[in-house]
Amino acid sequence: MKIKHNVITLLMCLFLLNSYSQVKQENPLRPNIIIMLADDLGYDDLSCYRNQNDIQSENAPSSQTPFIDNLAKEGMCFTNFYSGAAVCSPSRAALLTGRNATRLGIYNFIAPGVPMHLENEEITIAELLKQKKYATAHFGKWHLTSENTNQPQPLDQGFDYAFWTYNTSKPSHKNPVNYIKNRDDVGELKGYSSHLVVGEAINWLEKNKANKTPFYMNIWFNEPHEKVAAPDSLKIRHKNNKDYYGCIENMDYAVGKLMKYLKENELDENTIIIYTSDNGSKYEGSNIPLRGEKCFQYEGGIRVPFIAFWKGMFPAGIKSDVVGNFTDVLPTLASLTKTQVRQDRTIDGENLSNVLLGKTKEYQRKEPIFFYRYFHDPICMLREGNMVLLGYQEKPKPWQVNYNAAEEALFQPNEGEPKGSQWRFQKNHMDAINIQEPRYFELYNVETDLRQHTNIALGNAVLLDKMKKMMLKKREEMVEEGGNWYKTN
């Protein structure tokens, strides 16, 4: 009888162990999440992306990024991923909410003293993950709030802790003076922004070691946005754009410092890490092989590096050509953490969890990716499948690799106004948004014509008409939802 009882006990233990093993494989512990976001980093600025590009020029970047490259080697590297906008504020808003920036009313970058901002009613990734008891923190550039206002700050948008700047670090990335800790100004700091931000993130992790709940943190670097600064030891390695490429390499070292800490503390075992950029670079050569740069809704302004890592869960060393967008991040993380997304608002992003988990190599989007920005032509971009439709207010521009953002702006200073006075969001911009529509169109197959050399609109009348209707409908719908910041009741 005793032997029989021991056998039964052993069988039950084996059954429970096997059941636990299956649950662990299918439902791993709630992963930690880190989103690293560079500021104005071009598609070709990371050496792991540059090494994939067959098209280069004498102006190709010289920055080497071994730590970020290693993240790509151990994770998934997306070649067809789009940011949230061609400039920073709307791009960050789309990333945090899963909603198109135009739908949020974030029509351009947020300047000091303007009413435009990410409203408190919007649900951020941080607020979403609070449902699962995540500890949350934001480190680095924010740029979803206007200075000198009472608009929501990181602590109002679901973050437990924040070490942040409104916009870029000042006077440069070296010894910045404009960081805020939670709600208090810090004053002048010694060091470079990327290392200060990562240092603060590591300190926060250290203090929360005893906390058994998972964490979500943003590490939104100020680099390599102007005004750039880098150590002399890095600058001397480059012939051109020394501060810029040195700045990127300095950020890469900061990423390496973070990854070393995670590994030493066994936090890399169950942490989803995303590395990307908010939009394209303004530097010539940095967006090769793509056309255009920051501010413009050509591929060079909105297609960005996107790397995703989760040890043992995301396939390692995979290059994916699945088309993605910043709005996909929120619904994807919700799926991976089994968190419910609010159903009382439109989420423009789509769930890419099966792509990331290696369950499918092919993925067709249900809805096209859409961009609207009133300040530069083309004012609209719509991608469906491999086709990209560009919509212009004025006649299309001759093909160039790079364009001059100041000269090409649709809003220019009036006589007597200072240079750059029209870049700040203002009432006449809002008036234009309410009536603006694209009138001229170009169509490109970006699978066979990545550089957007050949406009195929004339030979594809039916497709052109279909995509035009979709573009106009989306612009009208989203501007209506985005609202008028200058409307008086």
pLDDT in the model for residue 20: 39
For the chain, the straight-line distance linking the first and the last C-alpha, in angstroms and rounded, comes to 85
pLDDT score at 111? 95
Instruction: Show the DSSP H helices in 105-179 as ranges.
Output: 125-129
Over residues 163-183, mean pLDDT: 97
Mean pLDDT of 473-483: 97
| Predicted confidence (pLDDT) at residue 262 exceeds the cutoff of 50 | yes
Q: Within 10 A of 456 (CB to CB), how many other CB atoms are there?
A: 15
Q: Would you state the structure tokens that stand for residue 315, as one six-digit string?
A: 């396939």
The answer to whether residues 114 and 425 touch, using CB atoms and an 8 Å cutoff, is: yes
Fold of 369-482: Arylsulfatase, C-terminal domain (3.30.1120)
- Asked if 277 contacts 63 with a C-beta cutoff of 8 angstroms, the reply is no
* 29-356: in CATH 3.40.720.10: yes
Find the range with the poorest average confidence among 22-26, 217-221, 457-461: 22-26
**Rounded distance, CA 69 to CA 444, Å?**
31
pTM of the model as a whole:
0.93
Q: What does the pLDDT look like over 310-366, one tens digit per residue?
A: 999 999 999 999 999 999 999 999 999 999 999 999 999 999 999 999 998 889 899
Residue 7 has a pLDDT of 46
Domain boundaries, the chain: 29-356, 369-482
Distance, CA of 68 to CA of 61 (rounded, Å)? 16
Q: Which residues contact 338 (CB under 8 A, 6 or more apart)?
A: 27, 30, 132
Q: How far are the Cα atoms of 160, 180, 202, 380 from residue 130, in angstroms, in the given order?
A: 10, 23, 21, 35
pLDDT in tens, 232-241: 999 999 999 9
Which residues, including other chains, have CB under 8 Å from residue 4's CB and lie 6 or more apart?
none
Residue 212 confidence (pLDDT) above 90: no
Q: Which of 351, 349, 355 is nearest to 368 (CA)?
A: 349
Q: pLDDT above 70 covers what percent of the chain?
A: 94
Residue 24 scores a pLDDT above 80: no
Bigger pLDDT: 209 vs 151: 151
Phi/psi region, residue 223 (left: phi>0; alpha: psi -120 to 50; beta: rest), is beta
Q: Is-contact 48 234, C-beta < 8 A?
A: no
Comparing 44-53, 90-99, 137-146, 438-447, the range with the smallest average pLDDT is 44-53
How high is the pLDDT of residue 228?
A: 96
For the record, the structure tokens of 86 come out as 């061609």
Environment class of residue 428 by beta-carbon count within 10 Å: exposed (0-12), middle (13-18) or buried (19+)? Answer: exposed
Selected residue with higher pLDDT from 179 and 8: 179
Contact 438, 393 (CB under 8 A): yes
Q: Is the per-residue pLDDT at 171 higher than 60?
A: yes
SS3 for 163? strand
What integer best gives the mean pLDDT of the chain? 93
